[in-house]
């Protein structure tokens, strides 16, 4: 019985490893089709056009920068970086916008619409919505004080979306355990280090009361004064103040820096999924490293953003270049 059990266990492990190798090879092949100079001849003004629109949007509302970064993340984790999240529902089609992790949460669609409209005037039918989302995320980080990088481009837009995938747990939620976070990121080819670095994007943006209520009222590994402050704007009763907002980084909520990691060390992570990164587990040392060394954090963050942008892109003859990001051609 023992040898049979070991054989089954080893066989399962081999299958799991094989599947991961297949996923990684598919990601590598598709991402190899992307290039930082993809539009240098076909639409040389695209980067300046997008940057101008993102700058305008963030100037009007600083939170929008974080929202555009999150839009990129939520797009890439479901079907890959293919702009599937932008598709509106129709009478015969159900998209991803009403998925539990997205509804009343993911935002910035209007900004992407505005960017697309401007880009279409500069070079019609050339630049994909998927690439616009990727560039807008990078520009948002830079505008809010973070590092810059050359975005790999050449993605095409999906002709489908998947509500079921968006609801399947692919997108880790605010109550995620550390193990769940690591597993969800590994499932799309991102390491635990990538996950911690990308979590550092929570140095900007805000969260709704409904996503941190349980933490501030029920958890013990939380700074008491911090919990008390957050409770003042987030009543314990479900249904009251659910949409009230609080900054993910209480120190510099609209500036990209390493204060987020200092907050975790001080037990002031707003979300449960934030604090688990520094809670006696395998990622504690990374949190400490990033808190002390902004250069390393910025470098690892850039590498992780580029890797995330490589998740299953559609290239060449796949998909389409949508004329409007909300609907198929």
Cβ atoms within 10 Å of 138's Cβ, excluding its own? 26
Q: What DSSP designation does 156 have?
A: B
Longest dimension (CA), the chain: 69
Contact 155, 82 (CB under 8 A): yes
Q: What DSSP designation does 320 have?
A: B
What is the C-alpha to C-alpha distance for residues 249 and 238, in angstroms, rounded to an integer? 24
End-to-end CA, the chain = 59
Long-range contacts of 300-304 (CB under 8 A, 24+ apart): 300/193, 300/194, 300/197, 301/146, 301/147, 301/197, 301/198, 301/200, 301/201, 302/147, 302/149, 303/194, 303/197, 304/190, 304/193, 304/194, 304/195, 304/197, 304/198
Determine the 3-state secondary structure of 249 from DSSP. coil
Determine the 3-state secondary structure of 30 from DSSP. helix
Contact 219, 272 (CB under 8 A): yes
Q: Which of 38, 53, 65, 74 is an active site residue?
A: 74
164's tokens: 């079921």
Strands (E), 17-128: none
272: left (phi over 0), alpha (psi -120 to 50) or beta: alpha
What is the C-alpha to C-alpha distance for residues 320 and 46, in angstroms, rounded to an integer? 18
Give catalytic status of residue 202 as yes or no: no
Residues labelled as active-site residues: 74
């Amino acid at each position: 019985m023992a040898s049979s059990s070991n054989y089954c266990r080893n066989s399962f492990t081999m299958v799991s490893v094989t599947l991961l190798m297949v996923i990684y090879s598919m990601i590598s092949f598709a991402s190899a089709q992307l290039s930082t100079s993809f539009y240098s001849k076909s639409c040389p003004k695209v980067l300046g056009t997008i940057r101008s629109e993102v700058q305008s949007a963030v100037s009007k509302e600083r939170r929008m920068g974080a929202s555009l970064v999150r839009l990129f993340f939520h797009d890439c984790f479901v079907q890959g970086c293919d702009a599937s999240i932008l598709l509106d529902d129709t009478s015969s089609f159900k998209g991803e916008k009403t998925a539990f992790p997205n509804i009343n949460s993911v935002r910035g669609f209007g900004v992407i619409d505005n960017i697309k409209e401007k880009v279409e005037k500069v070079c019609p039918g050339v630049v994909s919505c998927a690439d616009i989302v990727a560039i807008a995320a990078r520009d948002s980080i830079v505008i809010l004080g973070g590092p810059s990088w050359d975005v790999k481009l050449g993605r095409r837009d999906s002709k489908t979306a998947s509500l079921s995938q968006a609801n399947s747990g692919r997108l880790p939620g605010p109550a995620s355990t550390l193990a769940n976070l690591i597993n969800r990121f590994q499932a799309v080819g991102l390491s635990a280090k990538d996950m911690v670095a990308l979590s550092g994007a929570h140095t900007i943006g805000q969260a709704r009361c409904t996503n941190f209520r349980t933490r501030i009222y029920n958890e013990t590994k939380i700074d008491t004064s911090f919990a008390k402050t957050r409770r003042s704007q987030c009543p314990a009763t479900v249904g009251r103040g659910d949409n009230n907002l609080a900054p993910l980084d209480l120190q510099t909520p609209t500036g990209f820096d390493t204060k987020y990691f200092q907050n975790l060390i001080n037990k002031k992570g707003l979300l449960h999924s934030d604090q688990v990164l520094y809670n006696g587990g395998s990622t504690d040392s990374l949190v400490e490293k990033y808190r002390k060394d902004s250069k390393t954090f910025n470098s690892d963050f850039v590498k992780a953003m580029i890797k995330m942008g490589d998740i299953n892109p559609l290239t060449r003859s796949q998909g389409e270049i949508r004329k409007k990001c909300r609907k198929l051609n």
